[in-house]
Structure 1
């Protein structure tokens, strides 16, 4: 911190919300996951729930007791390892799992209408997926890591733009730079690598970041021209290292925390330069201010929590309460609740907007599209004012919706199976037969509602139960504690 200029964030304090503001009585999954555990957009909050492969999704403005009545998104057949909201479309969610699938979902405005069919399913080779990250500038560009493979996807076209090489072990963490030109990865081989996916598939820089092959996290601190990595040293102490992203020869700063089993998860706010460090199982969350020179990391405050942390996430900057001088809001996931934690800068006048605390921040309009970005047409996301009197609710809609009148299953069949060669007369007769002769139904409605299904049914017999889904009931409805069961002979009890 500059010795001649006091920081305006040095007095930032963390305020735990009252229990009335908690999102409580949640069925949080007890299964291990690789991600941070909580993700939020300006519309929703998502967290891993029971059973395995399910996410709980809540509106951002919900609070209080839920009594287990939480909208559930049945995502995968195995553990959901990581998930992220789009930085532009608050209703687009990407999930990845150890079932080797990457899925992109469009959430409905009314969560009661939530569906179990994603807008897009991508299969990535290399094993179970561990991490995923949206591009900060280009709409619907997504990076995902599976085993030793890291792939950059164009979600809109369902195409793999680049497959990055050089990892000799499992990739543990991935993150895009703020400018969107570089991708940083950490690997179990102790290496930190920087990739330029549009220029080459091999790493442009690489360095051994920590002397331990346990879990390692990485994020960009673009406002300070730094990269932060978090892992363990040789004596199993948790440590954080800062790297100059222009030259990865050696770290510019190392901060040792303590001895513990869980890796520190870093969260950085570009507008304020504040850094949060939290770990699963810890009862505290540290807040630091990051500077380019001097001490690099200066501790601002430590928040003592009531329960151990299961996960943590940051609310988007556009969703904080600026009139309460709230510069950050963290969402702590605990055993059965989500606890909002506000980071507030104390000011005497709380009836005015403090522009020195809230500079213009990134808006919801992407700078470019996926194919334009791939052709080296970079841009810059438009900044918006945080003053409530100068900006309204912004909403961008990304083009990942299934076309109207076609289900996800029908679209998948149409794209994979060639349409049979039928003339107009035979196709018309087939559609009329499927729709009961067409009495009382105009031609436009038949074309919209039954046109896609006609080509599917003509390919072979289908079942009316093809969309049947099974749901495991809650444990309270299970028949348990059965005695005298004979497990040696089938059919005997």
Structure 2
């Protein structure tokens, strides 16, 4: 009698394990938004964590330094320039201080967060993008071209903007007969993939507006999950070819490895906890701790807490593990907006993570044109930096009055929006 030993598939990621950070390193007392939208509600980069929160009189989100932990005071300043709840936030991949937000007020706003975080309520965006007729819930920055931002809303439109000028450069209006659930760029940024309520997945050329592929009747692989009806938030890491699935409302995070040989998708393991996740943010590879063989990090949203979870490959050596960290996309863009609009394509510019990534700010930051002057930049073109002095009581009062005016303005805009919606309901348009 002979026994055939099972062949174990070789992979350096077979033993990846997830570990939640200790309580003292979590962010507590965060009023995570209860908005009815199937988005992650969180965005993370190597500098900041952004979380969409509950807000009266409009929409707001928190922006905290990445190393911030502990209890968050209710008076912590927020980005609060929207007239209705915020649905999505996304950091610019080419400037860690630039973030875009989409809202139920049908607008997209782009903000510049100062180094160190907010020092007061932020109500004035760098630019406001207006082109959707219904709420906007999807944002996607171009992976290689600076200042190119994609938006999608409940009007079934996909819009591509040049953020530097505030101009709508492309609009895809006829490809989707129903609500768009998700949009993603490919690595070079010359195609997008969309998922629609009509159960069709489409690959589209965003510059021509033509559908390249939409026949997905024969899947390459099928992976059974569970019986939960919660929305899955997928995160793909092109450096490791791993896919992470966070079930919204679930208590688990599953992770898989994708290969180019059948059966293509290989289940690795899952992380399970006692509390379900309201959303999750995925940290850019530039922010992971290479000294601890951390290959990914999630920021799990609880009811009132943000909990980091590290994905780690167990290794005994303290040396840099080059096989775990191939060169990854850096902060420098490959193209400018006008180059991509003219038809050029380029792969991401890669950087090494050996010794940890500490890249300089993008040299194209000044390409964000039409940017209003910040208070810290002085009032005139010829003004020079002056030593920072303590604010007088009168200046403090004036600053508080200005902040209150901004809140009143946002509430007025929200009331106007609600009145328009009420009129539509009374007229039978909804």
Shift in Å at residue 30 of structure 1? Answer: 2.0
Deviation at 1:402, TM superposition (A): 4.9
Give runs of aligned pairs for residues 68-147 of structure 1, distance below 5 A. Answer: 68-110=74-116, 111-113=118-120, 115-146=122-153, 147=155
* Partner in structure 1 of residue 346 of structure 2: 379
2:212 equivalent in structure 1: 204
Give SS of 1:102's match: strand
Report the counterpart of residue 36 of structure 1 in structure 2: 40
Contact 2:188 2:348 in 1 (8 A): no
Taking structure 1 as the reference length, the TM-score comes to: 0.72
Structure 2 CA distance for aligned equivalents of residues 63 and 70 of structure 1: 13
Q: Deviations over 1:361-414 (max 9, x none)?
A: 11110000111011122223221111117x53332153326556588xxxxxxx
Distance 1:344 1:109 in 2: 29
Counterpart selection for 2:236 from 268, 272, 276: 268
TM-score between both structures, scaled by the size of structure 2 = 0.82
Instruction: Give per-residue Cα distances to partners, 1:34-93, cap 9 Å, x unaligned.
Output: 321210111110011121511011101112222435331103111211111011100111
The residue correspondences of 1:216-255 to structure 2 (distance < 5 A) are 248=216, 250-255=218-223
Secondary structure of the 1:112 match is coil
SS of residue in 2 equivalent to 1:195 = strand
Aligned partners of 2:374 and 2:259: how far apart in 1?
A: 52
- Bigger relative contact order, structure 1 or 2 (CA pairs below 8 A, ≥6 apart): 2
2:295 — aligned with what? 327
Find the aligned partners of 2:312 and 2:381 in 1 and give their Cα distance. 61
- Per-residue Cα deviation, 1:321-348 (whole angstroms, up to 9, x for no partner): 0000101111101111111101111111
The answer as to whether partners of 2:235 and 2:282 remain within 8 angstroms in 1 is yes
**Distance in structure 2 (CA, Å) of the matches to 1:130 and 1:145:** 6
Question: What SS is found at the alignment partner of 1:373?
Answer: helix
Structure 1 residues 287-309: Cα deviation after superposition (integer angstroms, max 9, x where no partner): 11111222222221211123110
Bigger shift: residues 356-365 or 373-382: 373-382
CA RMSD, Structure 1 to Structure 2 (Å) = 2.5
Partner of residue 187 from structure 2, selected from 178, 182, 195: 178
1:429 matched residue in structure 2: none
Corresponding residue for 1:50?
A: 54
SS of 1:75's equivalent in the other structure is strand
Match of 2:271 in 1: 303
Larger Rg: 1
SS at match of 1:371: helix
**1:393 lines up with 2:359 in the alignment:** yes
> Alignment partner of 2:405: what SS?
coil
- 2:162 aligned with 1:194: no
Q: Is the 8 A contact 1:22 1:337 kept in 2?
A: yes
> Following the alignment from structure 2 to structure 1, what is the Cα–Cα distance between the partners of residues 74 and 183?
33
> Match of 1:259, SS?
coil
* Equivalent residues in 2 for 1:293-372, closer than 5 Å: 293-349=261-317, 351-372=318-339
Q: Give secondary structure in 2 for the equivalent of 1:70.
A: coil
Q: What SS does structure 1 have at the residue aligned with 2:224?
A: strand
Paired with 1:469 and 1:88, the residues of 2 have a C-alpha distance of 30
The number of residues matched between the two structures is 376
CA distance in 1, matches of 2:260, 2:381: 67
1:19 pairs with one of 17, 20, 23: 23
Give the 3 Å change call, closer, same or farther, for CA 7–47 of structure 1 in structure 2: same
CA contact (8 A) 1:55 1:75 kept: no
Match of 1:229 in 2: none
Measure the CA separation in 2 of the matches of 1:465 and 1:115: 11
Instruction: Show structure 2 runs of 5+ residues with no match.
Output: 1-6, 384-400, 410-430
Q: Distance in 2 between matches of 1:4 and 1:98?
A: 50
Residue by residue, what CA displacement relative to the aligned partner does 1:7-40 show, whole Å, maximum 9, x if unpaired?
1111101011111111112122222233212101
* 8 Å Cα contact 2:107/2:132 also seen in 1: no
Matches within 5 A, 1:429-468: 468=405
* 1:201 CA displacement: 1.9
CA distance in structure 2 between the partners assigned to 1:442 and 1:330 by the alignment = 43
- For 1:149, which of 153, 157, 182 is the aligned residue? 157
The runs of 5 or more residues in structure 1 that have no matched partner are 208-247, 408-440, 446-463, 473-493
In 1, the alpha carbon distance for the partners of 2:47 and 2:121 equals 14
Between the aligned partners of 1:96 and 1:442, the Cα distance in structure 2 is 32
SS in 1 for 2:214: strand
